Amino acid sequence: MKFLQDFFDKLKPFVEKGGKYEKYHTLYEGHRTIVFAPDLTTGKKGSQVKDAVDLKRMMFTVIIAMIPCLLFGMWNVGHQHFLATGADAELIDKILIGALKVVPIIIVSYAVGLGVEFVFCVIRQHPVSEGFLVTGLLIPLVMPATIPLWQVALATVFAVVIGKEAFGGTGMNILNVALVARAFLYFAYPTAISGEVWTYLGDAAPVAAYSGATPLAIAASTVGNPGATPVVDLLNDSWSAGIYDFWNMFLGIMPGSIGETSTLMCLIGAAILVLTGVGSWKIIVAVFAGAYSMGLIFNLVGLNEFMLMPAQYHWVIGGLAFGAVFMATDPVTASQTETGKWIYGFLIGLLTVLIRVFNPAYPEGIMLAILLMNVFAPLIDYYVVQANKKRRLQRATV
């Protein structure tokens, strides 16, 4: 790799202090440290050795964990396309269609997002941070395949500028950056991200009786409708046989955002995050527990058919699993104390189901629940830390 080192060394004089392109120093460093782990050494005093992990590797681990969701999502976009249009297709056709829709979204997300990051690095002279590595893939995975690319670009700019850089960059943001992108689209262009947008049809006409409604929309339709059929029956009577059957929804072979339909793939991702210690298992478990508990409470209240839907259905419909595994565990915006993580996750699960049932306009609840709890996470931590201080004071004798 000597030639690469030489290449960077040759560029160095231009970007060093006093060089012609001095202000691009952070960009230069950013790229060099991607190709080569830097030659920095520890200080004279203090720890003389350091753990082999760094933020880049940590972030990359999250990307690895998302790959099952991504691959499955690509296939599923194609599969849903052919299912809805009634055409027969081979596996490869499905993947190709999926890739054709998904890859451009990923490219736009990374290109635009990194572009904005680079601009900020140069303006504010802070190092290129790794945060966007994960955000760049999270954004496409929570979009419908039909989203216009310019909207992806706009949402990404908004998310990075307002969601992150306005707070000082990676590590300082309050809200989950990828969710800010999705929330932006939800409020700015609601028609592109809600309703029957989840299946890519292209120019083809859908089959007879096709309905693009997601299971959440079907369930929500029972609210305010006395005498409605139970949700489970409604789901089973869907336009395509078995598509909203519990186990099919668990596998994720149904319309939805690109990466979030499959609970199974999310659980594989969760296993990677938990085994590598990068994601907090406490948060993931707590979100599922919170959603289940609220589901059970609603079963007891039973005012409408949505409330009566079996609690475990909340785990597999919508983006609960994806949100729990990849969004709620974001270490920057989640609760940072171990006790706090339980409370934070549990409340996300609880709120998700609450929003689903009580918010007919937008049946997906996990996004709003996580954003809301992002805001409350520091408060939760505040009380946990306060309890620690109190323990300390009680033990004092003076």
- Report the site for another protein in 293-332 (rule: CB under 8 A): 331-332
Q: Does residue 129 touch another protein according to CB under 8 A?
A: yes
- Among candidate residues 378, 244, 384, the one with its CA nearest the CA of residue 309: 244
Shortest spacing between CB 95 and another protein, in angstroms: 25
Read off φ and ψ for residue 277, nearest 5 degrees.
Answer: 75, 10
Considering only 231, 334, 348, 368, the residue that binds another protein (CB under 8 A) is 334
253: part of which helix (H) or strand (E)? none
C-alpha to C-alpha distance for 58 and 17, rounded to whole angstroms: 31
- Among candidate residues 127, 159, 155, the one with its CA nearest the CA of residue 330: 159
- Report the site for another protein in 371-390 (rule: CB under 8 A): 385, 388-389
Considering only 13, 148, 171, 202, the residue that binds another protein (CB under 8 A) is 171
C-alpha to C-alpha distance for 82 and 97, rounded to whole angstroms: 9
Q: Does residue 191 touch another protein according to CB under 8 A?
A: no
C-alpha to C-alpha distance for 312 and 303, rounded to whole angstroms: 18
Shortest spacing between CB 58 and another protein, in angstroms: 5
Considering only 11, 58, 153, 157, the residue that binds another protein (CB under 8 A) is 58
Shortest spacing between CB 275 and another protein, in angstroms: 7
Please identify, using beta-carbon distances, which residue of 10 and 389 lies nearer to another protein: 389
Q: Yes or no: say if 164 and 177 are a contact pair by the CB < 8 Å rule.
A: yes
C-alpha to C-alpha distance for 94 and 245, rounded to whole angstroms: 22
Please identify, using beta-carbon distances, which residue of 148 and 168 lies nearer to another protein: 168
Q: Does residue 361 touch another protein according to CB under 8 A?
A: no
Buried residues in 114-142 as b, exposed as e (16+ CB within 10 A): bebbbebbbeeeeebbbbbbbbbbbbbbb
Shortest spacing between CB 65 and another protein, in angstroms: 9
Instruction: Please give the residue ranges that form the binding site for another protein (CB under 8 A).
Output: 1, 4-5, 33-58, 60-61, 64, 127, 129-131, 169-172, 272, 275-278, 280, 331-332, 334-338, 341, 385, 388-389, 391-393, 395-398
